[in-house]
């Protein structure tokens, strides 16, 4: 949710943000109109309530012979009070719907446009040249079958399309990625969290997902619970309705969970293998911090994602995502995309988003600023204000795709990146299974 005071003071900034996202900038004007009308109606209701209270005292003190007429007037006043209350509540509901549905204000410098309008920040590493190695690269599914590590057929038999089994050393490779992410995050002050994968609708909405209109979300209607597509949701809700203390620094968590997405709009896309699936595992960083630290923290999350990619020996690029592809909550998002040899392109493995105060406002998560002392020695108590939230992926099942393809050998085996070997029992290679 955006800051209404900021919007009142700078409506043109929000209109520009909406234009950059490719959204309806008149949404800003509808919010302002509803806000003005809401405040006027609330004032009218409060004035009538005050009049009603004063009139009630007058009725109580009136002579007996005057009371019938006064009681009739009191009933008429009560009806007006109820009408004013209903009008103010209806307008408030309209206002809350409008302000909760507008996207976050983008940060200066975010590229304008949609999915294809990103800006490449940098490229790191050189994609492997298989011509020099003397063989044609296989895709990750063929390799996974050669090493007996990916079974799509039985996944479909058990659960349907876009489900799978990981087996043996490939299953261990996925876990190795997660454990390396955990160790890296722990070194940098993150607390590991095993998070719920089912959340209440108010938590899903508070994080910025629209449960009424988001076709990507799985819903358990009988229980009115939702399966998360990222542990960001549970971690964002962890401190709902709390005032946080940052005396010892930002609160940093690493959520470890399975994640679920319906992939409703992806018919015909990435149907082969495990690139776009309904269930996957993920290690997700989540940070609460003061607003002033948010952009610096965003850079830190990105650097940790890059360190993971470098440890895995992957060529990758970092992109500054365009405004129209940010999602509702993000004010800025960087994606790290690894080179996938058989596709001849970079594919997203991680993203990190600065959500500024958008999620915290929706979930009522605040901090208390320090007390201040003026020149006369008077102490002014600190106030509460919304905190900033950030998230970033440190490892996920999709990484297996880039690792298998990048580090494959001519015989179908896969060299394990050196940094992952301690998590693989010291193994250097995932061998192909002899036919």
- Closest to 302 in 3D by CA, of 348, 335, 342, 337: 335
List CB contacts of 23: < 8 A, sequence separation 6 or more: 103, 324
* CA of residue 50 relative to chain centroid, distance: 44
Query: What long-range pairs does 268-271 form, CB within 8 A, spacing at least 24?
Result: 271/161, 271/162
The reply to whether 317 sits in an annotated binding site is no
Which of the residues 362, 398, 405, 413 is marked catalytic? 398
- Closest to 125 in 3D by CA, of 402, 400, 387: 402
403, 314 Cβ separation under 8 angstroms = yes
The reply to whether 65 sits in an annotated binding site is no
Which of the residues 162, 261, 362, 366 is marked catalytic? 261
Q: What is the CA radius of gyration of the chain?
A: 28
- Closest to 390 in 3D by CA, of 324, 294, 304: 294
The reply to whether 9 sits in an annotated binding site is no
Task: Compute the distance between CA of residue 219 and CA of residue 394 in angstroms, rounded to an integer.
Answer: 26
The reply to whether 348 sits in an annotated binding site is yes
The reply to whether 262 sits in an annotated binding site is yes
| Other CB atoms within 10 Å distance of the CB of residue 68 | 10
Which of the residues 276, 347, 368, 415 is marked catalytic? 276
Q: Is 329 a catalytic residue?
A: no
List CB contacts of 393: < 8 A, sequence separation 6 or more: 230, 282, 283, 284, 285, 305, 349, 350, 351, 352
Element (H, E) at 317: strand 316-320
Which of the residues 88, 257, 351, 386 is marked catalytic? 351
The reply to whether 351 sits in an annotated binding site is yes
The reply to whether 284 sits in an annotated binding site is yes
* CA of residue 88 relative to chain centroid, distance: 33
Which of the residues 46, 348, 385, 415 is marked catalytic? 348
| DSSP code for 307 | H
The reply to whether 27 sits in an annotated binding site is no
Helix ranges, 62-133 (H):
67-101, 130-133
| DSSP code for 131 | H
The reply to whether 279 sits in an annotated binding site is yes
The reply to whether 303 sits in an annotated binding site is no
The reply to whether 232 sits in an annotated binding site is yes
The reply to whether 38 sits in an annotated binding site is no
List the structure tokens of 300. 């830190």
In 115-208, DSSP assigns E strands to 119-124, 150-151, 165-166, 191-194, 198-199
The reply to whether 390 sits in an annotated binding site is no
- Closest to 314 in 3D by CA, of 399, 227, 187: 399
Strand-pair partners of 119: 320
The reply to whether 393 sits in an annotated binding site is yes
The reply to whether 187 sits in an annotated binding site is no
Distances (CA, A) of 273 to 123, 149, 375: 26, 12, 67
166, 150 Cβ separation under 8 angstroms = yes
The reply to whether 342 sits in an annotated binding site is no
Q: Is 351 a catalytic residue?
A: yes
The reply to whether 277 sits in an annotated binding site is yes
Give the residue ranges of the annotated binding site for L-serine: 230-232, 261, 284, 391, 393
Active site residues: 261, 276, 348, 351, 398
Give the residue ranges of the annotated binding site for ATP: 261-263, 277-280, 348-351
Give the residue ranges of the annotated binding site: 230-232, 261-263, 277-280, 284, 348-351, 391, 393
């Amino acid at each position: 949710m955006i800051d209404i005071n900021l919007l009142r003071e700078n409506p043109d900034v929000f209109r520009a943000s909406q234009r950059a996202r490719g959204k309806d900038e008149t949404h800003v004007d509808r919010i302002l109109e509803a806000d003005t009308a809401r405040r006027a109606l609330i004032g009218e209701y409060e004035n009538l309530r005050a009049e009603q209270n004063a009139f009630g005292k007058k009725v109580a003190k009136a002579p007996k012979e005057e009371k019938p007429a006064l009681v009739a007037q009191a009933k008429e006043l009560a009806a007006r009070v109820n009408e004013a209350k209903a009008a103010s509540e209806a307008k408030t509901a309209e206002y809350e719907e409008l302000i909760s549905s507008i996207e976050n204000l983008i940060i200066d410098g975010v590229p304008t446009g949609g999915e294809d309008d990103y800006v490449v920040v940098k490229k790191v590493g050189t994609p492997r040249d298989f011509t020099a190695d003397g063989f044609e690269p296989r895709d990750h599914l063929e390799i996974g079958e050669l090493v007996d590590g990916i079974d799509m057929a039985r996944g479909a038999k058990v659960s349907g399309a876009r489900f799978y089994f990981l087996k043996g050393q490939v299953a261990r490779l996925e876990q190795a990625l997660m454990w390396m992410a955990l160790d890296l995050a722990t070194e940098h002050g993150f607390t590991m969290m095993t998070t719920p994968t089912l959340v209440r609708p108010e938590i899903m909405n508070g994080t910025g997902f629209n449960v009424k209109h988001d076709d990507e979300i799985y819903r358990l209607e009988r229980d009115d619970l939702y399966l998360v597509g990222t542990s960001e949701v549970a971690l964002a809700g962890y401190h709902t309705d709390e005032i946080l203390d940052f005396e010892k620094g930002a609160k940093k968590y690493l959520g470890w969970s399975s994640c679920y997405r319906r992939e409703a709009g992806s018919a015909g896309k990435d149907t082969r293998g495990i690139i776009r699936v309904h269930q996957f595992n993920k290690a997700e960083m989540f940070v609460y911090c003061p607003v002033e630290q948010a952009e610096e923290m965003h850079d830190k999350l990105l650097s940790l994602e890059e360190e993971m990619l470098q440890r895995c020996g992957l060529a990758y690029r970092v992109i500054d995502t365009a405004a129209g592809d940010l999602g509702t909550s993000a004010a800025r998002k960087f994606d790290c995309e690894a080179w996938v040899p058989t596709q001849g392109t970079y594919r997203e493995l991680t993203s990190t988003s600065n959500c500024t105060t958008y999620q915290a406002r929706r979930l009522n998560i605040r901090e208390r600023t320090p007390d201040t002392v003026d020149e006369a020695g008077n102490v002014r108590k600190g106030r509460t204000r919304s905190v900033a939230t950030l998230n970033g992926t440190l490892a996920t099942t999709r990484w297996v795709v880039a690792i298998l393809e990048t580090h494959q050998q001519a015989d179908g085996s896969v060299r394990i990146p050196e940094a992952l070997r301690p998590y693989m029992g010291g193994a250097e290679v995932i061998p192909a299974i002899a036919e």
